[in-house]
Amino acid sequence: MYRDRIRLETLWGKVMSAEEAALSIRDGMVIGMSGFTRAGDAKEVPVALAERARRDPLRITLMTGASLGNDIDKTLSEANVIARRMPFQADPALRRRINDGEVMFIDQHLSETVEQLRARQLRPVDIAVVEATAINEKGGIVPTTSVGNAASFAVLAEKVIVEINMTMPQELEGLHDIYFPSRRPYREPLGVMRPSDRIGLPYVPIDPQKIIGIVITSKADSPSRIEPPDEDTAAIAGHLLEFLDHEVREARLSPSLMPLQAGIGSIANAVLHGFTESRFSNLTMYSEVLQDSTISLLDSGRLVFASGSSMTLSKPLYERVLGDIGRYRDRLVLRPQEISNHPEIVRRLGIIGINTALEADIYGNVNSTHVGGTHMMNGIGGSGDFARNGHLSVFVTKSLAKGGKISSIVPMVSHVDHTEHDVDVIVTERGLADLRGLAPRERAALVIDNCAHPLYRDALRDYFNEAARSRGGQTPHLIEQALSWHARLRENGSMQG
Amino acid sequence: MYRDRIRLETLWGKVMSAEEAALSIRDGMVIGMSGFTRAGDAKEVPVALAERARRDPLRITLMTGASLGNDIDKTLSEANVIARRMPFQADPALRRRINDGEVMFIDQHLSETVEQLRARQLRPVDIAVVEATAINEKGGIVPTTSVGNAASFAVLAEKVIVEINMTMPQELEGLHDIYFPSRRPYREPLGVMRPSDRIGLPYVPIDPQKIIGIVITSKADSPSRIEPPDEDTAAIAGHLLEFLDHEVREARLSPSLMPLQAGIGSIANAVLHGFTESRFSNLTMYSEVLQDSTISLLDSGRLVFASGSSMTLSKPLYERVLGDIGRYRDRLVLRPQEISNHPEIVRRLGIIGINTALEADIYGNVNSTHVGGTHMMNGIGGSGDFARNGHLSVFVTKSLAKGGKISSIVPMVSHVDHTEHDVDVIVTERGLADLRGLAPRERAALVIDNCAHPLYRDALRDYFNEAARSRGGQTPHLIEQALSWHARLRENGSMQG
């Protein structure tokens, strides 16, 4: 059994239980696990590890690609296994521990983690635990629904545990393009010049002697939980599409635009869905997460190719795509997140990046991570890789949250993840502000008029006018009141005066 | 006369006075001028333009590479010529107008301006005014002591005015490497794989018919005003060199380190001077501004090659280098700032970026631009190009300013130019904080203990402890007090309680 999945005979004896494999993981180790936004995570070993830790406590540094599915971050953090975590997460139980200061969370640009590992700026990975569709004749690992950082973890780690996932069709082989930048300072250019360019191998090449255990699983990926488009997200999509249409009419973009990137989540997904009804054609994506909307766009014929680092789909789409992967395989590629998000390629291709803001301020700074300036939501993810280096950096958000108690447009954001230098366009359901080539005072007028909700518009205008009148400056602020909206929310449960 | 400087005969008739050339510049135009940190600025036409504007008012959008010398920004702003300005400036008179809201200043990453121009995201340049050493047989422009954005302005503008600077030795020809990235989405990789790689032409290739006027000048560049190293800047250099030494001992860096970048200014210059006494060898620079310290390092033999976009030297070094350029020419190259600062190359080469912070906060966010959160100092310059994409992002600052009334380490910076995701190391004269791989709470302890001045250390510790205790979070803040240090400074003239 499993021989078609483990095609290197010398590895047949390495099949073991998750419990046995997990025994190699010891207190204080750095563990690199596969998994990117719920796709392709290792599903058995972490659960066995948590089980063991309940009897025999241990704590590790856990590195992944991005967030995990199957409640793995929850299970591990409830068993108190995670001492340190990077570079992204999205689990409520883990989030609580991070915000309580019990787990040290290092929130990184997703393109940078393995660059820092390779340069030994981070502690080396002791053991990689990676999900695979198969191990090929050479001992190379064929990934599943994501690559993330798993390929680099496997190559850089001293030891590798592989989880073979029997639910993954073997036809996934050939979907991946695994390439590692050569070591600096003698690095060659990365050869990706179009989203469809393949520059590497369809498997992760490692020394098979590093494989210390192979675990078999039949657990599926957790499906994505995407809320259907609502009136607000549809309005956001409408404003952005109208803007892009205008860019085409002005001949700043062709009807195939530039390669698209869209962040994870309901708003960005809804915006991409909007393209299905658009007049754009021959679209391409060069993104990190391929969501339901990517598949709809491929099916509609508007999108001709999508490059990503993971496929994170709802249950019906997951079944449709995995059940008929041959239909999609020549229009999709999954790459290491270092490559999907690489500044060199993002700048060269001229990507249009569409990412979600928690809040934006009137001058164009964006907070993507910290609720109230203090509490971590998920992490910056890849938004910075795209916003800094692409052709157009778009941030989307609903203008209100918590039934109007929170304005997503504020005088000053309480945490900055994207600076005023990196934000080209802000879109809410109220409208769109094109900030390109504008000074902060000009941006403020546009953001207030076009993006803020009428509930807060006057207060924002009053703040700006008073700051400009009494204080002046490139970026007028009443510094003692700049964060008063957040303080009011904390005290009174609402930003409203 | 001038025939050796204007080697295309058909252009001989284009020589005219600055006043005559300036007549082509009309109200509302976008003018792109050469000049990068006081080097290679157009020196005659802007003065003639200001003169004319005093009689016959007009306002323009002025784009440059970076800051100008010869009081040109002052002269133009006092004549009320500048309506809009980008992407960098450093003039007190202009700064006042910017902060009064009379001049709209667009503060950009220096690598991005011409990318946005090429993509028509900014209004096109009507006339380029560029300084030249000579015009060659083909009508190509040989730049002087900087390239900056001048090459792209000349190529993209409808009309070009050239100022031939007779003080520039003709031996400057061959110093420059002019390359333009091809238009997206079909862009090729940039071929720079070592700081010394040349990928372009030694002149700016333009259609000579676009040249509408040639003005002759004998004005020299303004020399840089670098303060000599003092006890504090020497201490900062000492801490950084000790850290780099440690990186070499840990085998994370070789003794030739990685290509160095250093921002403009006295602190960064002093730090580079420190390398002269170090044990590092075969150093290279891939930077934007080459300052006095670059020449000293070349002379000492420690530095083998320096790539930049401008040479901004003190009077003695200016004379030494320009008087004997042949001695340096094969160890220096000047490139367009798009290339000197390009994310693709910065990431590929793995640059060590050393830039100056106005202030940093305990969690590692850096403010490079805004005094008190509102008033523009100079601009972000290229610091973001290097800090985001390099191997190591270092920010240096003295721990105190204004004789102790200001702490450069604060609970929360009043403006963010470099986010916590982009700052690896903070150095003051008190010590160094290595923030790599640390969570915000861990960073706070290090920054307070190692970098803050003892005058403010207890207050910072109290703030952090109280925020962590009473509020918690990934990044603990007392949100209503986070900017109270800046408010206190504004009200009482000091951050001290």
Q: Where are the domains of chain B?
A: 2-217, 231-492
Residue A269 assigned ligand-binding role? no
A250, closest residue in chain B (CA to CA): B120
Which segments in chain B show pLDDT lower than 70?
A: 1
Residues with Cβ < 8 Å from A163, sequence gap 6 or more? Answer: A18, A42, A43, A44, A45, A129, A130, A131, A132, A214, A215, A216, A217
How far does the CA of residue B4 sit from the closest CA of chain A (Å)?
A: 40
pLDDT of residue B1: 63
Phi, psi of B400 (to 5 degrees): -125, 155
Residue B384 assigned ligand-binding role? no
Residue B274 assigned ligand-binding role? no
B106, closest residue in chain A (CA to CA): A439
Domain A2-217 and domain A231-492, same fold? Reply is yes
DSSP one-letter code for A39: B
Give dist(CA A125, CA A152) in Å, integer.
10
Give dist(CA B396, CA B229) in Å, integer.
14
Two structure tokens written together for A145: 């629904």
Say if residues A379 and A367 touch (Cβ distance below 8 Å): no
| Catalytic residue set of A | 288
A478 CB neighbours in chain B (<8 A) are: none
B481, closest residue in chain A (CA to CA): A480
Q: What do you get for the CA distance between the two ends of chain B, in Å?
A: 68
Helices (H), B160-230: none
Helix (H, G, I), strand (E, B) or coil at B124: coil
What is the DSSP track for A230-249? -HHHHHHHHHHHHHHHHHHH
Test B419 with A384 for CB contact under 8 angstroms: yes
Placement of tokens 């992944």 in the chain: A64
The mean pLDDT value for A408-427 works out to 98
| Interface with chain B: mutation pick from A180, A417, A479, A491, highest number of B CBs within 10 Å | A479
Which of A86, A121, A486 faces B479 most closely, judged by CB atoms?
A486
**In the predicted model, is pLDDT for residue A1 greater than 80?**
no
Say if residues A110 and A66 touch (Cβ distance below 8 Å): yes
How far does the CA of residue A268 sit from the closest CA of chain B (Å)?
A: 23
Test A343 with B347 for CB contact under 8 angstroms: yes
Give dist(CA B478, CA A130) in Å, integer.
41
B189 CB neighbours in chain A (<8 A) are: 189-191, 193, 344, 348
Inter-chain CB pairs, A–B, below 8 Å: 242
Give dist(CA A229, CA B378) in Å, integer.
44
Distance of CA A476 to the CA centre of its chain: 33
Phi, psi of B265 (to 5 degrees): 125, 165
How far does the CA of residue B204 sit from the closest CA of chain A (Å)?
A: 22
Test A474 with B375 for CB contact under 8 angstroms: yes
Give dist(CA B418, CA A248) in Å, integer.
33
Test A483 with B487 for CB contact under 8 angstroms: no
Which helix (H) or strand (E) element contains residue A33? strand A30-33
Say if residues A40 and A146 touch (Cβ distance below 8 Å): yes
Tell me which of B44, B131, B163, B288 is the catalytic residue. B288
Q: Give this complex's ipTM.
A: 0.98
Q: What is the mean pLDDT of chain A?
A: 97
The mean pLDDT value for A128-143 works out to 98
Helix (H, G, I), strand (E, B) or coil at A402: helix
Give dist(CA B83, CA A442) in Å, integer.
13
Nearest to A337 by CA among A149, A55, A81: A149
pLDDT of residue A497: 80
The model's pTM is 0.98
CATH for B231-492?
3.40.1080.10
B484 CB neighbours in chain A (<8 A) are: 480
Distance of CA A439 to the CA centre of its chain: 30
| Catalytic residue list contains B231 | no
How far does the CA of residue A298 sit from the closest CA of chain B (Å)?
A: 20
B423 CB neighbours in chain A (<8 A) are: none
E runs forming strands in B88-126 = 104-105
Confidence of residue A264 (pLDDT cuts 50, 70, 90): confident
Give dist(CA B145, CA B131) in Å, integer.
9
pLDDT in tens, A336-374: 999 999 999 999 999 999 999 999 999 999 999 999 999
pLDDT in tens, A40-99: 999 999 999 999 999 999 999 999 999 999 999 999 999 999 999 999 999 999 999 999
Two structure tokens written together for B332: 């220096």
A119 CB neighbours in chain B (<8 A) are: 252, 350, 391
pLDDT in tens, A195-232: 999 999 999 999 999 999 999 999 999 999 878 889 99
**In the predicted model, is pLDDT for residue A257 greater than 90?**
yes
Residues with Cβ < 8 Å from B316, sequence gap 6 or more? Answer: none
Q: A2-217: what fold?
A: Glutaconate Coenzyme A-transferase (3.40.1080)
Give dist(CA B26, CA A123) in Å, integer.
60
CA angle A343, A348, A354 (to 5 degrees): 65
Give dist(CA A99, CA A96) in Å, integer.
5
Distance of CA A64 to the CA centre of its chain: 12
The mean pLDDT value for A378-394 works out to 97
Give dist(CA A333, CA A331) in Å, integer.
7
Give dist(CA A2, CA A135) in Å, integer.
10
Residues with Cβ < 8 Å from A416, sequence gap 6 or more? Answer: A365, A366, A367, B365, B416, B419
Give CA separation, A159 vs A57, A121, A128, A207, A214, in Å: 22, 20, 6, 10, 12
Say if residues A328 and A295 touch (Cβ distance below 8 Å): yes
Interior/surface letters A40-68, b for 16+ CB within 10 angstroms, e for the rest:
bbbbbbbbbbbebbeeeebbbbbbbbbbb
